[in-house]
């Protein structure tokens, strides 16, 4: 499989004790795109769900698209391959379809045996000290990622949470070009310029938090923004086309050419979130939803690193 399935099952915030069953249920429901990361702390359990699905013949490995991400503490070239190998071991896979730099932030190395996943704060015993930055430049990390493709451990490479300047820079030095950029993307953060830029470079865009604030309410990061699935514009379109508000929002992004990563633990929603390809939004609907753009980023790194990790480290203007 060489193209990213348009709807994926995201593993962010899936509790480890529920992850194996949820991954199995997602594959059983028809998902063939799983989006994982070291930092999510549930890759071993995700691997159990994948193995069960494969053993029971729900699909073949080559029919699954599995993504994972390099965490910030493993940016030094000598740590990149061991980080991937730990992910592959946890997922019980021989290779990944896509491996991405999770954030354009290099943090000081934390050995596996000391803490895994290492998270953001360098020493949890002294949280007031916050994050400990490392001086590894991104081009060195990318070159080490390219070696993973050369070794047959990874099929494609990508990046997450890059801004446009970093994307321009990456395209200047990358020997193996990125297949995809994963960014926060929903009607309150439409990111039209970034979509145009990625199209110009032939890069796929994967939308995380595609339903907006639902991903951030429990983290107290929703900023009291009105819920997208309850917005009058969305609900009116949903009623007219005979779909749920969530389906309308997801279809809007898919119709813009993006892959989406909705998350749910409810079986009926698993099926609902996949059912996006037997209807279309007309141009008036697309424009109406696009006009909801407030340039509002729920997962603002400069905000949450300062408030949660005692380190002001913005990556977006």
Tell which residue, 3, 66, 8, has the closest CA to residue 250: 8
Give the torsion through C-alpha atoms of 102, 24, 116, 113, to 10 deg.
-130
Q: Among the residues of the chain, which ranges form H helices?
A: 16-29, 43-55, 77-91, 138-150, 164-173, 192-201, 232-241, 245-255, 267-274, 283-290, 301-309
Region class of 100: left (phi > 0), else alpha (psi between -120 and 50), else beta: beta
DSSP letter at 133?
B
DSSP state of 312: -
Compute the distance between CA of residue 293 and CA of residue 238 in angstroms, rounded to an integer.
18
The candidate with the shortest Cα–Cα distance to 198, out of 155, 176, 154, 168, is: 168
Residue 13: partners with Cβ closer than 8 Å, 6 or more residues away: 40, 215, 218, 263
Residue 109 designated active-site: no
Q: Report whether the peptide linkage leading into residue 257 is cis, meaning its omega lies within 30 degrees of zero.
A: no
Question: Cα(248)–Cα(222) distance, rounded to whole angstroms?
Answer: 21
Task: Say how far apart CA 294 and CA 259 lie, in whole Å.
Answer: 21
- Fill in the DSSP letter of residue 214: G
- Token pair recorded at residue 166: 């970093």
Whether the CB-CB separation of 237 and 281 falls below 8 Å is answered with yes
CB-based contacts of 155, cutoff 8 Å, min separation 6: 2, 95, 96, 97, 98, 149
Please pick, among 24, 31, 40, 74, the residue that the annotation labels catalytic.
Answer: 40
Catalytic residues: 40
């Amino acid at each position: 499989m060489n193209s990213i399935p348009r709807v994926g099952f995201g593993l962010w915030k899936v509790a480890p004790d529920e992850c194996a069953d949820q991954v199995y249920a997602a594959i059983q429901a028809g998902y063939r795109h799983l989006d994982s990361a070291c930092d999510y702390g549930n890759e071993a359990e995700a691997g159990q769900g994948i193995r069960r699905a494969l053993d029971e013949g729900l699909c073949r490995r080559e029919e699954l698209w599995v993504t994972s991400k390099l965490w910030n503490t493993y940016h030094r070239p000598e740590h990149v391959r061991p980080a991937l190998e730990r992910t592959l071991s946890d997922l019980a896979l021989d290779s990944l379809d896509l491996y991405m730099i999770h954030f354009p932030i290099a943090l000081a190395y934390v050995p596996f045996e000391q803490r895994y996943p290492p998270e953001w704060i360098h020493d949890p015993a002294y949280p007031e000290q916050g994050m400990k930055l490392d001086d590894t430049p991104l081009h060195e990390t990318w070159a080490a990622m390219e070696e993973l493709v050369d070794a047959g451990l990874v099929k494609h490479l990508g990046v997450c949470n890059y801004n446009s300047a970093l994307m321009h820079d990456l395209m200047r030095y990358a020997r193996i070009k990125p297949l995809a950029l994963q960014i926060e993307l929903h009607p309150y953060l439409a990111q039209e310029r970034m979509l145009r830029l990625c199209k110009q470079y032939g890069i796929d865009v994967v939308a995380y938090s595609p339903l907006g604030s639902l991903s951030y309410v429990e983290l107290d990061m929703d900023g009291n923004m009105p819920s997208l699935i309850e917005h009058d514009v969305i609900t009116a379109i949903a009623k007219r086309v005979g779909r749920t508000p969530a389906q309308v929002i997801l279809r809007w992004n898919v119709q813009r050419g993006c892959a989406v990563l909705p998350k749910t633990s409810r079986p009926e929603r698993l099926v609902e979130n996949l059912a996006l390809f037997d209807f279309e939004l007309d141009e008036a609907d697309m424009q109406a939803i696009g006009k909801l753009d407030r340039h509002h980023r729920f997962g603002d790194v400069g905000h949450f690193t300062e408030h949660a990790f005692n380190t002001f480290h913005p990556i977006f203007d």
